Amino acid sequence: MNDKENDPIATLVRLAGRRPGVDAERTARVRAAVADEWRASVRRKRWTRVAVAAAIAATIGGVLLTRPRSEPSAPVVEARELTTPGDATTSVEWNGGTLRLDRETQLRIDTARTATLIRGAIYYANDTPGVAVTIHTPFGDVRDVGTRFEIRLRDDALRVRVRDGAVIVRDTTARAGTELVANRTAVTSRSIATSGEEWAWIENAAPPIVLEGKSLDEVLQRIAIEKGLTLQRSGPDQTLHGDVPLSVSEALDAATAAAGVTYRIEGDRLIVRGRS
């Protein structure tokens, strides 16, 4: 670095002199007022989240805890509805998988393994082999056969996008990277990307990631799945730390920074390398 007398940056900074500070008493007054406001805001948000989570947990709990009389593998329960407002998404556990609801979505849980999509969009990631779910819609049933998929209900049709595995819609099977559109009379299919902007709401609705005690590989694999990418990685594994719940993108930044590796996304690949 050029630090001689003729260094123009050094000259300018010296010429300007130190930036004026703010009186300590004034700073303390504002800090206290803003901190109070911030803590109150965090408390308000926390209670809102707790209330929403409690309502959803009560619904799902009701579904899972009710024991059937006639159908042991698929208990019939009192119908319960999950609804999201226009400014929030949510995710809940269902049948060992993750069920996410986009904004302005209404879903009725009919039994432990079946639900009816009334409006909006859902994404289901089935992480339990052998447990299949069926989603009823006005345009036909969507039957999961071990997969991750999105169902979006429109006024005139049903759209199903499969990220992984396969689903069956009115006798038509859609495999990974396929979109099916079913209206009253026909089912059409086309190939789609399994990552990108159209899947962004699913990532945003993902449960938070806590790094503490997890391996770098485990975290990167989860991030790749959430983003619909294939992980390409070399280098040794390591244990991560940090108990702050992070979004998927925050976790990617934090985990790679902590592990001293770099990442880039090329097409549908998440490439992670050690720093050169």
In the complex, which residues of this chain contact another protein (CB under 8 A)?
1, 3, 8-10, 12-23, 26-27, 29-31, 33-35, 37-39, 41-42, 45-46, 244-247, 250, 253-254, 257
State the nearest-atom distance from the C-beta of 211 to another protein, in Å.
13
Distance of alpha carbon 232 from alpha carbon 30, whole angstroms:
48
State the nearest-atom distance from the C-beta of 203 to another protein, in Å.
14
Give the list of residues 6+ apart from residue 211 with CB closer than 8 angstroms, or none.
219, 240, 241, 242, 243, 246, 251, 254, 255, 258
Whichever of 11 and 188 has its CB closer to another protein, that residue is 11
State the nearest-atom distance from the C-beta of 154 to another protein, in Å.
27
Distance of alpha carbon 85 from alpha carbon 149, whole angstroms:
22
Name 99's bridge partners.
Answer: 92, 124
State the nearest-atom distance from the C-beta of 41 to another protein, in Å.
5
Whichever of 23 and 156 has its CB closer to another protein, that residue is 23
Whichever of 87 and 156 has its CB closer to another protein, that residue is 87
Whichever of 28 and 58 has its CB closer to another protein, that residue is 28
| Alpha-carbon distance values, 148 to 46, 179, 227, 260, 263 (Å) | 30, 13, 12, 31, 25
Distance of alpha carbon 140 from alpha carbon 138, whole angstroms:
6
State the nearest-atom distance from the C-beta of 254 to another protein, in Å.
7
Whichever of 23 and 197 has its CB closer to another protein, that residue is 23
